[in-house]
Amino acid sequence: MKHLGILRIGFKLLVNDKAKFSALLIGITFAVFLMMQMTAIFAGILNRAYSTVTNVNAALWIMDPAVNVPASPFPLPNFLEDAVRSMDGVSFAVPIYIGGAQLKLADGTYQSANIVGLDDDSLFGRPELEKGDIHDIYNDDSYVVVDDTEFSKLENPSIGSTFELNDHRVVIVGIARVVSNGLNGVPTLYTTYNRAIEDIPNSRFTISYLLVQPKNADAVAGIKRQVAKLGYTALTKDEFNNRIAHFYIFQTGVGITILMMTVIAFVVGLSISGQTFYTFIIENLERFGALKAIGAKGSELVYMILFMALLTALVGYGLGVGLVTLVISMARLWIPNYAATIVYWNLGLAFVMVLIIAGLSSYIGVRKVLKIEPFDIFRG
């Protein structure tokens, strides 16, 4: 509490100049809002891109090395399933089919859909049902539809609703919910693996991925090595998600666009707050000089300026986070499939950038204040 008195003086100087204080808050709040909004959109896109990995929740995914995202698999040869099952450390391995199809609705229109074919014996990766019995999926032509933001595109089907898929009848026997919605804006249906490959035209190989459950965590490294010797890749959930994120950041325009917008928001916030804070310091030079004349040390003035800059930055950060939270919440009320989401990493990123803004703004002020001499003030 050594510097409490000088900090109290700095607080009064700051808040009593309502115009400058308001301008500082507006600049930082606007910058935080833009940074958070951009990164929240990107976080939402990644969260949706992870949806297949999240919803299936397999420990290990075996895939072709060229795969970047779950929705674009390269079919695996049938021999690989037996080879993986015989590997040391594998508890079980099952195939999964992931593909797209065109459904013909009752009114004759067509709707794209994602089809997920689960292993017939175990149904590993199945979603939790809101309505229906999962065992009904073994009935002829049976599918389970996911009740998410794209559900209405299938005209809000109920149990017993029928569609047409490549001249095959589709009967809805269950309505499911999943942890994460998809990214592509199309409904998702689950069925058995064999029914999926029968109803949808495919190439010679039909296994999209092999889902593996290792006997224990120590077995993962060994399984990866054995799979690599066969020319394929085994990834854990987190590793697959990292590959997806890398693809969207570096191999599409999404990552660079978001990065540029975030940098622009940072520069705007820095420019506004830096210029406003510098003007505030210039207008109060006489007061800083007077404080020096009555015995305030240079270090105490530095603490005071840092305190003022940090206080403004933290208040602006809180207002910015609150504003972006409000905007995202309101957007979701009007647009259910709005993807933006606030996560820890974008909160942390915005906080670090705000601290940088506060540091650079205070540096500008500190340089000016430390150069002033009481003699110059009183002489004027």
What average pLDDT does the segment 153-181 reach? 93
Kindly report, residue by residue over 121-132, the tens digit of the pLDDT: 999 999 999 999
Q: What is the pLDDT of residue 168?
A: 92
| 125 and 268 part of one domain | no
Kindly report, residue by residue over 300-309, the tens digit of the pLDDT: 878 888 888 8
| 93 and 225 part of one domain | yes
Kindly report, residue by residue over 285-297, the tens digit of the pLDDT: 777 777 777 777 7
Of the listed ranges 157-166, 167-176, 337-346, 360-369, the least confidently predicted one is 360-369
- 233 φ/ψ angles, rounded to the nearest 5 degrees: -120, 135
Kindly report, residue by residue over 216-265, the tens digit of the pLDDT: 999 999 999 999 999 999 999 999 999 999 998 888 877 788 888 888 88
Question: Is residue 85 within 8 Å of residue 103, measured between CB atoms?
Answer: no
Q: What is the pLDDT of residue 376?
A: 58
Task: Give the CA distances from residue 79 to residues 82, 84, 130, in Å, rounded to whole numbers and listed in that order.
Answer: 6, 9, 37
Final residue belonging to a domain, choices 231, 262, 283? 231
Q: What is the pLDDT of residue 27?
A: 84
Question: Is residue 236 within 8 Å of residue 221, measured between CB atoms?
Answer: no
Q: Is it the case that residue 1 has pLDDT exceeding 50?
A: no
| 223 and 262 part of one domain | no
Kindly report, residue by residue over 325-380, the tens digit of the pLDDT: 999 999 888 887 788 888 898 899 889 888 888 888 778 777 777 776 666 555 55
| 263 and 226 part of one domain | no
Q: What is the pLDDT of residue 358?
A: 82
Question: Is residue 74 within 8 Å of residue 210, measured between CB atoms?
Answer: no
Residue 283 lies in a domain: yes
Q: What is the pLDDT of residue 377?
A: 57
Residue 171 lies in a domain: yes
Angle formed by the axes of helices 18-49 and 344-371, nearest 10°: 150
- Measuring CA to CA, which residue among 31, 46, 22, 38 is closest to residue 352? 31
Apex 300 CA angle, 294 and 303, nearest 5: 145
Residue range(s) defining the domain that contains residue 207: 77-231
Q: Is it the case that residue 3 has pLDDT exceeding 80?
A: no
Q: What is the pTM of this model?
A: 0.82
Mean pLDDT over each residue of the chain, to the nearest integer? 88
| 267 and 223 part of one domain | no
The total number of structural domains in the chain stands at 2
Q: Collapsing DSSP states into helix, strand and coil, what is residue 359?
A: helix
Q: Is it the case that residue 6 has pLDDT exceeding 80?
A: no
| 88 and 216 part of one domain | yes
**% of the chain beyond a pLDDT of 90:** 51
Q: How many CB atoms neighbour CB 43 within 10 A?
A: 20
What average pLDDT does the segment 275-283 reach? 78
| 219 and 83 part of one domain | yes
